[in-house]
Structure formats: structure tokens, C-alpha cells
Amino acid sequence: MKINFKETDDLIDIRFDKVFKAVFTRGTPASKGALSHLISALIGREVSVASINANEPPIDNLQDRQIRFDIFCKTTNGELVNIEMSLNPASFEPVRLEFYAGRLFTRQDIRGPDKSYGDLKETYQITILSKGQFFPDEAFLHTFEYYDPVHGVSLNGRSRIITLELSKLDRVVEKPTENMNVQEYWAVYFRYLTDKSKRQKINEILEREEGIAMASEVLIEITEDEKEWVRQMSELKYQLDTQSYIVEAKRIGRKEGVEEGRQEGRQEGLKEGERKIIDLLKSGKSPEEIIRDYQ
């Protein structure tokens, strides 16, 4: 099935966590193939997904999904992979990834007389960060592992944290498609799929990367009813996120006032925190960008 998007096509954003999970866990050959291609691209070698161990009941309809959006799967070689899309990552995202990478690695069971630590398989905690910049360099793809920072010596362990920062693609998207690598294909696809001005670039990528074509095949099967439901959920989630960040701004304002040690200082700090957060929201900044500025 050849996929080609028109500039007039109203595509749903695959960065919506529910849509992301629906595309890669539908249980169809295209969905499973797309997931295998995506993981292969990000870990840098070819793997094939053998099974998807759902963190919640199997899903065929977007409305049935619960509030967990990560995809836990096992490759044919027994490696464990947890992959997720984070539309609005928080400032504590790096330490959160460290926590879940540890849990993923220790999920393996090596008890028994015929087992040893050598039987532990590679594990990969993969997170696609849709917004924000978490690392100071210009690289959009990072692979982290344990190492000695003083001597630059790797532990050569078997757990990895992989991050894909979609905010760092302004230069990448301007490259000729034939000069891009497979990681750049996926990153540009995720960020610019709904950008109609980049529709030709997306179609060129579809021609070159089979896994992305498979993902698109699944994406277009999502019904109009499902699309509308996702949009409504996204609006609700944004409202709840905004409310939470305003509460956090109030907390910061109180802290500033307490540090000054005066009742009027506390009140002024509270008002200033609220005022700043509201002005920044009106300016178009996202809630996660605002709270990061405050920290």
C-alpha cells in the first residue's frame, strides 16, 4: 500500500500519546512492523518485536485506553524495550527516565540454578520528548549508559536510556531527504507530520523508510470519531495541565514571600507568581515551558 499525503489532508497528530500507542500496538502486521522499524532505528541495529506486553488490556479503539501510554515489548532476542511519547514532558523527565530504566532492567528474572547475571538481556528505556530542550547540545538523539565521568570509561552494562528531542530539528528538516539518516526520518515524521508546509518532505520520507509508511498506514485507519475524541481529550488535558502549573506558580510565589519573612511579602509573591504565569500563557508559551522557567 503506497501512502501519499495531500497538503489538504487533515492528519491527526501522532505525538498525541493515545494516538502514538494506537498506531504501534494495533496488532496488525503494519503496526508491528512499524514498531520494529522504529526501535531498530533508535537503538542503531535491526531488531524484531516478538511480543507486546500491554500495561493495560489490549486496545482496538482509542476511547478504551487507560491513563498509561508506554509500550512495553520484547524482541526476538529477548531484549526488553519500553518506548513512550511524552507530549508535555516535565522538568524532572531525566530522573524519571533513570527510575524507569532501573525498573525495566530489574524486571528480568534470573533466579534458578541454571541462571546467572550473564543471562541478563539488554534493556532500552526510550522516550520521545515532543517539547522542550533537556540537554544543552544540538544533538536530538542521545543514548545514555553508566560510565565513569572522570576517566570516561564505560561500565559496559546492558541498560540504556534513549531520548529523542523533537525540539531540535529546525536544521535537520531543511536537509535534502537523501542526506538524512533513518533516525532523522523518524524524528522529522513525528514533529512535522501535521505541518502542511512540510507535507512534501513527509511524502519523500514515506518513500524511503518502510517503517514510517507502515505507521502511516495504521494512522489513516483511525476513524474521524476517534480523531475528534482525541482532540477533545487533548484540550481537556491542556486545561488540567495549565491549572496544575498555575497552582505550582502560586506555590512558588508563597515560597518567595516566606523567604522575605513578611505577610505582605507572601501576598505579593503569590500575586506576582499568578500574574507572571497568566501573562506567559497569554503569550503562547506552553505550560511545561513556563514551569521550567520558574525552576
Lowest mean pLDDT among 42-56, 63-77, 92-106, 183-197: 63-77
The verdict on residue 10 lying in a domain is no
Distant-in-sequence, close-in-space partners of 49: CB < 8 Å, separation ≥ 6: 32, 35, 36, 39, 73, 74, 75, 76, 81
204 & 258 share domain:
no
Tell me if 123 sits within 8 A of 47, measured CB to CB.
no
User: How would residue 70 be classed by pLDDT, with cut points 50, 70 and 90?
Assistant: confident
263 & 179 share domain:
no
User: How would residue 144 be classed by pLDDT, with cut points 50, 70 and 90?
Assistant: very high
The verdict on residue 256 lying in a domain is yes
pLDDT at 81 over 60: yes
The verdict on residue 4 lying in a domain is no
205 & 160 share domain:
yes
The verdict on residue 63 lying in a domain is yes
50 & 170 share domain:
yes
CA-nearest of 130, 285, 239, 144 to 192 is: 130
Which residues constitute the domain of residue 59?
A: 17-222
Number of domains in the chain: 2
In tens, the pLDDT along 221-269 reads 876 556 555 555 555 555 555 566 566 656 655 555 555 555 555 566 5
Please give the Cα distance from 119 to 117 (Å, whole number): 5
Lowest mean pLDDT among 35-49, 139-153, 155-169, 223-237: 223-237
34 & 180 share domain:
yes
- Among the candidates 172, 191, 222, a domain finishes at 222
In tens, the pLDDT along 20-40 reads 988 999 889 999 999 999 999
142 & 237 share domain:
no
254 & 124 share domain:
no
| Res 89: pLDDT | 81
Q: Give the DSSP per-residue string, 42-98.
A: HHTS---EEEE--SSS--SSGGG--S---EEEEETT--EEEEEEESS--TTHHHHHH
256 & 112 share domain:
no
pLDDT at 195 over 50: yes
> What DSSP state is assigned to residue 99?
H
b/e 17-39 (16+ beta carbons within 10 angstroms → b):
bbbbbbbbbbeeebbbbbbbbbb
30 & 161 share domain:
yes
| Res 26: pLDDT | 85
184 & 281 share domain:
no
- Among the candidates 193, 222, 251, a domain finishes at 222
217 & 234 share domain:
no
Long-range CB contacts (within 8 A, 24+) of 280-284: 281/242
119 & 243 share domain:
no
pLDDT at 209 over 80: yes
- Among the candidates 202, 222, 242, a domain finishes at 222
